[in-house]
Amino acid sequence: MQSLPPAFADLAPFLSTWGTLETQEQRYLARQHMRFAELRAFYDRMAPRIREILTHLDRFPVDQPLPAPEEALYRLALGLTEAAAAVEVYGMAEVPFVPKPHVVTTTWSDGTR
């Protein structure tokens, strides 16, 4: 059972949706299969707190794994990137007229040597 840092415990209901998703591909797919009202409800709770969430996470070094509660919180924050696209840009869950499921794989590379 995932938990969140105490200051953010009220966001726990969203963990079942976003807490297990590890990649942008998974989050994008999850968004496509959610109703807009669900995304909107998540957005309405998360958006006012995102700066506070990131300030909390920024106390931890970015090049090391986060403690489990902070990792769960970060996954909620990443879920917001998808919910915000739906709410702030499109007013609907998916990108208009994109056939579902739309699978896009994202891979990050850091070539700094």
Spatial distance between the Cα atoms of 31 and 92, rounded to a whole number of angstroms: 10
The two structure tokens encoding residue 7: 């200051």
Cα 56 to Cα 49, 60, 107: the distances in Å are: 11, 8, 26
Q: Is 65 in the site for another protein (CB under 8 A)?
A: no
CB 3, min distance to another protein, A: 18
Q: Is 41 in the site for another protein (CB under 8 A)?
A: no
Spatial distance between the Cα atoms of 3 and 110, rounded to a whole number of angstroms: 30
Closest among 87, 96, 78 to 41, alpha carbons compared: 87
Nearer to another protein, 41 or 57 (CB): 57
Choose the stretch contacting another protein; rule: CB under 8 A; options: 2-10, 11-19, 34-42, 52-60. Answer: 52-60
x-marked contacts with another protein along 80-99 as a string, rule CB under 8 A: xxx-xx--xxxx---xxxxx
CB 80, min distance to another protein, A: 6
Q: Which helix (H) or strand (E) holds 73?
A: helix 68-84
Instruction: Give the interface with another protein as residue ranges (CB under 8 A).
Output: 24, 27-28, 43, 47, 50-51, 54-55, 57-58, 60, 62, 66, 74, 77-78, 80-82, 84-85, 88-91, 95-99, 102-113
